[in-house]
Structure 1
Amino acid sequence: MALLVAGIILFIVTHLVRPFAPGLRAAAIERFGKPGFMAAHGIVSLLSLVMMAYGFVLARESGGSMLYQPPVFMAHIALLLMLVASICLVAAFLPAGYIRSKLKFPALVAIKLWAFSHLLANGESYSVLLFGAILAWAVVLRISLKPRIASGETKLPVFVSASYDLISVVLGVALYLAIVLKLHEWIIGVSPLAM
């Protein structure tokens, strides 16, 4: 479980630098330039994700204590929430339709839904550790955005067209099907449909 914990810590520290240590971020950008900083941030982020995914698989293989036993219907709720999360995630990368403009930060909504849905369906200690930590991080990050929005540092998306909502739904459903039918099993080693 050490690799999983290390991956979680690396991910959270890397992604809370901007709101909680802006001076450190500014100093790194001044020293390495914005492209250099962004490249390093991307590499460290990817490394933390790989550490979390691989650490999660190792923790699952070595076993862990069961903190709670979710009822079977929770897996069905989790699957439904993941459909919504997939649509929100796609909407985050498109110009603003109603979804993006109303949610403001649809990628964070997607992450919170992902973490919460997995907490509903998984009661093992390593699952609660991973999904609970990511859910807590997403909530803290969303709260930290409020003063940045008020100061004008962070801009909210402005509605462009409802056609982007349709694209978000179509591509979100396609992403969801890819994850449920193949990617989840390929990356994590467990089919969500088997749960």
Structure 2
Amino acid sequence: MSYIILILGVLLWSLAHLFKRIAPGVRARMGKGAKGLVALALVAAVVLMVIGYRATDFIPVWYPPPFLTHVNNLLMLFAVYVFGVGAAKGKLSGVIRHPQLTAVKIWAVAHLLVNGDLAAIILFGGLLAWAVVEVIVINRAEPSWVRPADTSWKGDAKAVVIGLVIFVVATAIHYWLGVNPFGA
């Protein structure tokens, strides 16, 4: 049952994010109420993913070598930086069209490297698939992209600070959940 809950969470997350693009007419008819419904669906999706993931039995699919923990942590530092670049309007946001979705893809790959169990593959692989599909759908709906002109190195510096704060918070959450993100 826990795997079903996990899968439903990943599907709900994906559909809530894609709703605007795959059913624009329905979304438009719903008006401003759609934002609240989508937000509620996203919260429910996160709850389902957490409950489902935490309740699954550990079913090993592969055994990651210990050195991948270091690769994961480097990728995570890069992922949180890339995530912040979009909000901070750093120079990199003028190069990467979808910095936050790119960050999700880096995050998912990093976690797939160090988690070889079935639940992790469903969770992180599912979110990686969602991010890839989301980029494809957005790019098809809006094929032309105007690079932001107001990017700055100051934005990159802000992104570094934002990224470090997010990394520290994420690390603390991992410890709180009983997971040492730096290896055993």
TM-score, normalization by structure 2 = 0.90
> Counterpart in 2 of 1:123?
116
Distance in 2 (alpha carbons) for counterparts of 1:138 and 1:80: 20
Paired letter, 1:135: L
Asked if the contact 2:14–2:130 (Cα under 8 Å) also holds between the matched residues in 1, the reply is yes
Give the Å deviation of 1:156. 5.0
- The total of aligned residue pairs comes to 182
Give the Å deviation of 1:92. 2.4
> Counterpart in 2 of 1:4?
6
Give the Å deviation of 1:89. 1.5
Equivalent position to 1:157, from 148, 157, 161? 148
Paired letter, 2:42: S
Paired letter, 1:49: V
Asked if the contact 1:149–1:156 (Cα under 8 Å) also holds between the matched residues in 2, the reply is no
Paired letter, 1:133: G
Asked if the contact 1:89–1:110 (Cα under 8 Å) also holds between the matched residues in 2, the reply is yes
Paired letter, 1:167: K
Asked if the contact 2:94–2:147 (Cα under 8 Å) also holds between the matched residues in 1, the reply is yes
> Counterpart in 2 of 1:81?
75
Distance 1:52 1:155, change over 3 A: farther
Distance in 1 (alpha carbons) for counterparts of 2:15 and 2:67: 35
Distance 1:185 1:55, change over 3 A: farther
Distance in 2 (alpha carbons) for counterparts of 1:89 and 1:26: 28
Asked if the contact 1:149–1:155 (Cα under 8 Å) also holds between the matched residues in 2, the reply is no
Give the Å deviation of 1:174. 2.2
Distance in 1 (alpha carbons) for counterparts of 2:80 and 2:98: 14
Give the Å deviation of 1:13. 1.2
Asked if the contact 2:95–2:147 (Cα under 8 Å) also holds between the matched residues in 1, the reply is no
Residue 175 (structure 2) pairs with residue 185 (structure 1): yes
Distance in 2 (alpha carbons) for counterparts of 1:126 and 1:170: 32
Asked if the contact 1:85–1:114 (Cα under 8 Å) also holds between the matched residues in 2, the reply is yes
Structure 1: 5+ residue runs without aligned partners? none
Asked if the contact 1:78–1:118 (Cα under 8 Å) also holds between the matched residues in 2, the reply is yes
Residue 41 (structure 2) pairs with residue 44 (structure 1): yes
Paired letter, 2:149: V
RMSD: 1.8
Asked if the contact 1:82–1:117 (Cα under 8 Å) also holds between the matched residues in 2, the reply is yes
Asked if the contact 2:93–2:151 (Cα under 8 Å) also holds between the matched residues in 1, the reply is no
Distance in 2 (alpha carbons) for counterparts of 1:25 and 1:115: 28
Give the Å deviation of 1:18. 1.9
Give deviations 1:139-195, integer Å, cap 9, x for gaps: 011111212332x6x765333322010110122112212222x12232x43121234
Give the Å deviation of 1:52. 0.6
Asked if the contact 1:86–1:110 (Cα under 8 Å) also holds between the matched residues in 2, the reply is yes
Structure 2: 5+ residue runs without aligned partners? none
Distance 1:86 1:21, change over 3 A: same
> Counterpart in 2 of 1:141?
134
Between the aligned residues of both structures, percent identity stands at 31
